[in-house]
């Protein structure tokens, strides 16, 4: 029988939703599928010996690096296996992954495409392989359009994944004041906004694909049965769909009144939906993550954030009054931040009583220039000294003293701790 192994390496420290959705599609097609999350279980080599298709999930940049390491090991222990990559960073890096590390790469939505690839490789069904990059398409110079559709969503299958209790979230525990069993789901994929630094923009180009309400609610029911006490909506922005999210939370609160929530939203969206946010405070929403990037108009303009410093201040004050915590994320070190800005930032944190709320990791985040980033074509980035890596560019600050501060501040990465500004980068 044709065997498939789905591999997750890291998905923000959450139970891997990308793999769970792929599992649903493949099991519906009656394939023999197994799953490993190396973030929890490590590299169990025996699981890689027999599969005919090994599909590696790379939704985030950290997962990309770790997924490449897995692919290298697979080549040594199971040379007959077909290796494919899927997820957001597969879309962004398809031509860099195919041949060197994998046989194919899925661009765009993965559930249907991955199933078609399995049909094709197993010989059970012919497929036109839409949304799949391979060596032939690369050598012919063919541009493979990412598959973007929203008629394929189904309830994620989590039964083969490690239990939710294996994925502790220290920052959530801190904000809520006690240990939680945390689950993660999403109500949509993509984002309408086009922030220049954001990999969601790079992968989805402003598109948003809405997941049906019934699918989301059933997924949450399954996680509650598995012991979940707090739910994170992992969307790039919860208000990409104006009423979809609040309708879901209303129904979930009616069914699970003790369940608490958090989600990510832009500053302007929070301010545009004040009445809805005030209602959410009564429905169990405990905190909102918002990418503030930096408390400087120059930085906000440079990354096309379409926000003002005044709006940031307004949202801080509004959420404090409502009783929902603001959990801000930042790109602390970026080419537009000066030494003086860093001093002013400390004052912003102190004045708004954010020091006990901000995840300490946020003080060490640095602008990530992934290959394909729209920022690479801007004059301010072109003027920098850049060092090219395989999947990204390192950059040097115009003022070497800022980089010295970063070097002094940055701590060595701990095992299993990833320095990121959000769940989608």
Q: Say how far apart CA 336 and CA 349 lie, in whole Å.
A: 19
Q: Say how far apart CA 157 and CA 20 lie, in whole Å.
A: 5
At 150 the pLDDT is 84
Q: Minimum mean pLDDT among 17-21, 161-165, 214-218, 408-412: which range?
A: 408-412
At 337 the pLDDT is 92
pLDDT tens sequence across 196-234: 888 898 899 889 999 999 999 999 999 999 999 999 999
User: Could you tell me if 419 and 373 are in contact, meaning their C-beta atoms sit under 8 angstroms apart?
Assistant: no
CA-CA-CA-CA dihedral for 49, 50, 56, 57, to nearest 10: -110
Q: Which residues contact 352 (CB under 8 A, 6 or more apart)?
A: 313, 316
Options 3.20.20.70, 3.40.640.10, 3.30.70.1560, 1.10.10.10; which CATH number does 166-409 get?
3.20.20.70
Residue 419: is its pLDDT beyond 70?
no
Residue 417: is its pLDDT beyond 60?
no
Q: Say how far apart CA 242 and CA 285 lie, in whole Å.
A: 16
Residue 423: is its pLDDT beyond 80?
no
Residue in 232, 237, 152, 241 with CA at minimum distance from that of residue 201: 237
**pLDDT band per the 50, 70, 90 thresholds, residue 424:** low
User: Could you tell me if 19 and 35 are in contact, meaning their C-beta atoms sit under 8 angstroms apart?
Assistant: yes
At 141 the pLDDT is 80
Backbone angles phi, psi at 326, to 5 degrees: -95, 120
What mean pLDDT is predicted for residues 52-57? 98
What mean pLDDT is predicted for residues 136-152? 85
Q: Minimum mean pLDDT among 27-31, 322-326, 360-364: which range?
A: 360-364
At 416 the pLDDT is 52
Q: Say how far apart CA 10 and CA 67 lie, in whole Å.
A: 9
pTM: 0.94
Q: Say how far apart CA 393 and CA 386 lie, in whole Å.
A: 6
What mean pLDDT is predicted for residues 352-375? 89
Residue in 300, 105, 299, 294 with CA at minimum distance from that of residue 203: 105
- Count Cβ neighbours within 10 Å for each residue of 280-301 and write b for 16 or more, e otherwise: beebbbbbbbbbbbbbbeebbe
**pLDDT band per the 50, 70, 90 thresholds, residue 164:** very high
Query: Mean pLDDT over all residues of the chain?
Result: 93
Range 3-139: architecture per CATH: 3-Layer(aba) Sandwich (3.40)
Looking at the chain, the whole-number percentage of residues with pLDDT higher than 90 is 76
User: Could you tell me if 110 and 18 are in contact, meaning their C-beta atoms sit under 8 angstroms apart?
Assistant: yes
Instruction: Break the chain down into helix, strand, coil percent, rounded to 5.
Output: 40, 20, 40
**pLDDT band per the 50, 70, 90 thresholds, residue 195:** confident
What mean pLDDT is predicted for residues 98-126? 94
pLDDT tens sequence across 226-276: 999 999 999 999 999 889 999 999 999 999 999 999 999 999 999 999 999
Sheet holding 32-37, edge to edge: 32-37, 3-8, 53-57, 82-86, 104-106, 132-134
Q: Say how far apart CA 353 and CA 305 lie, in whole Å.
A: 24
Residue in 236, 211, 318, 222 with CA at minimum distance from that of residue 270: 318
Residue in 41, 37, 42 with CA at minimum distance from that of residue 56: 37
At 193 the pLDDT is 86
**pLDDT band per the 50, 70, 90 thresholds, residue 415:** low
> What is the separation of C-alpha 222 from the centre of its chain, rounded to a whole number of angstroms?
22
Residue in 165, 116, 155, 120 with CA at minimum distance from that of residue 23: 155
Could you tell me the two tokens for 354?
């954010």
CA-CA-CA-CA dihedral for 246, 17, 68, 293, to nearest 10: 20
Residue 412: is its pLDDT beyond 70?
no
Residue 191: is its pLDDT beyond 60?
yes
Decide whether 3-139 matches 166-409 in CATH topology: no
Q: Say how far apart CA 162 and CA 35 lie, in whole Å.
A: 9
What mean pLDDT is predicted for residues 372-384? 92
Q: Minimum mean pLDDT among 183-192, 272-281, 359-368: which range?
A: 359-368
Question: Taking the domains of the chain in order of start, what are their residue ranges?
Answer: 3-139, 166-409
350: helix, coil or strand? Answer: helix
Residue 296: is its pLDDT beyond 60?
yes
Backbone angles phi, psi at 374, to 5 degrees: -60, -25
Residue 79: is its pLDDT beyond 80?
yes
**pLDDT band per the 50, 70, 90 thresholds, residue 125:** confident
User: Could you tell me if 165 and 179 are in contact, meaning their C-beta atoms sit under 8 angstroms apart?
Assistant: no
Residue 411: is its pLDDT beyond 90?
no
Report which secondary-structure segment, H or E, holds 105. Answer: strand 104-106
What mean pLDDT is predicted for residues 378-403? 94
At 143 the pLDDT is 80
């Amino acid at each position: 029988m044709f065997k498939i192994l789905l591999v997750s390496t890291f998905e923000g420290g959450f139970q891997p939703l990308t793999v769970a959705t792929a599992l649903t599609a493949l099991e519906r097609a009656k394939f023999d599928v197994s799953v490993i999350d190396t973030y929890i279980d490590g590299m169990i080599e025996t699981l890689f010996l027999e599969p005919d298709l090994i599909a590696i999930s790379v939704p985030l940049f950290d997962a990309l690096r770790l997924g490449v390491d897995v692919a290298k090991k697979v080549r040594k222990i199971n040379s007959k296996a077909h290796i494919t990559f899927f997820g957001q960073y597969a879309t962004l890096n398809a031509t860099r992954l195919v041949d060197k590390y994998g046989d194919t790469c899925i661009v765009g939505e993965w559930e249907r495409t991955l199933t078609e690839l399995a049909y094709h490789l197993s010989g059970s069904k012919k497929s036109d392989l839409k949304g799949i990059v391979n060596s032939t398409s690369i050598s012919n110079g063919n541009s493979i359009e990412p598959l973007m559709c929203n008629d394929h969503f189904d309830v994620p299958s989590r039964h083969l994944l490690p239990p939710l209790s294996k994925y502790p979230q220290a920052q959530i525990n801190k904000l809520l004041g006690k240990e939680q069993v945390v689950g993660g789901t999403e109500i949509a994929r993509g984002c309408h906004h086009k922030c220049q630094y954001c990999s969601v923009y790079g992968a989805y180009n402003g598109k948003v694909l809405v997941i049906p309400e019934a699918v989301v609610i059933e997924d949450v029911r399954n996680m509650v049965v598995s012991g979940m006490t707090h739910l994170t909506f992992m969307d790039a922005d919860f208000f990409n769909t104006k009423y979809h999210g609040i309708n879901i939370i209303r129904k979930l609160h009616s069914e699970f009144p003790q369940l608490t929530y958090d989600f990510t939203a832009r500053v302007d969206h929070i301010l545009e939906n004040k009445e809805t946010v005030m209602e959410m405070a009564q429905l169990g929403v405990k905190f909102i993550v918002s990418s503030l990037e930096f408390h400087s108009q120059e930085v906000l303009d440079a990354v096309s954030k379409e926000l003002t410093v005044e709006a940031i201040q307004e949202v801080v004050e509004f959420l404090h009054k409502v009783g929902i915590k603001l959990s801000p994320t930042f790109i602390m070190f970026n080419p537009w931040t000066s030494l003086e800005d860093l001093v002013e930032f400390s004052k912003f944190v102190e004045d708004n009583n954010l020091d006990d709320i901000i995840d300490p990791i946020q003080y060490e985040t640095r602008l990530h220039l992934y290959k394909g980033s729209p920022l690479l074509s801007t004059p301010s980035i072109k003027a920098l000294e850049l060092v090219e890596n395989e999947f990204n560019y390192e950059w040097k600050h115009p003022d070497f003293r800022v980089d010295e501060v970063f070097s002094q501040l940055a701590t060595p990465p701990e095992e299993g701790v990833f320095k990121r500004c959000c769940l989608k980068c």
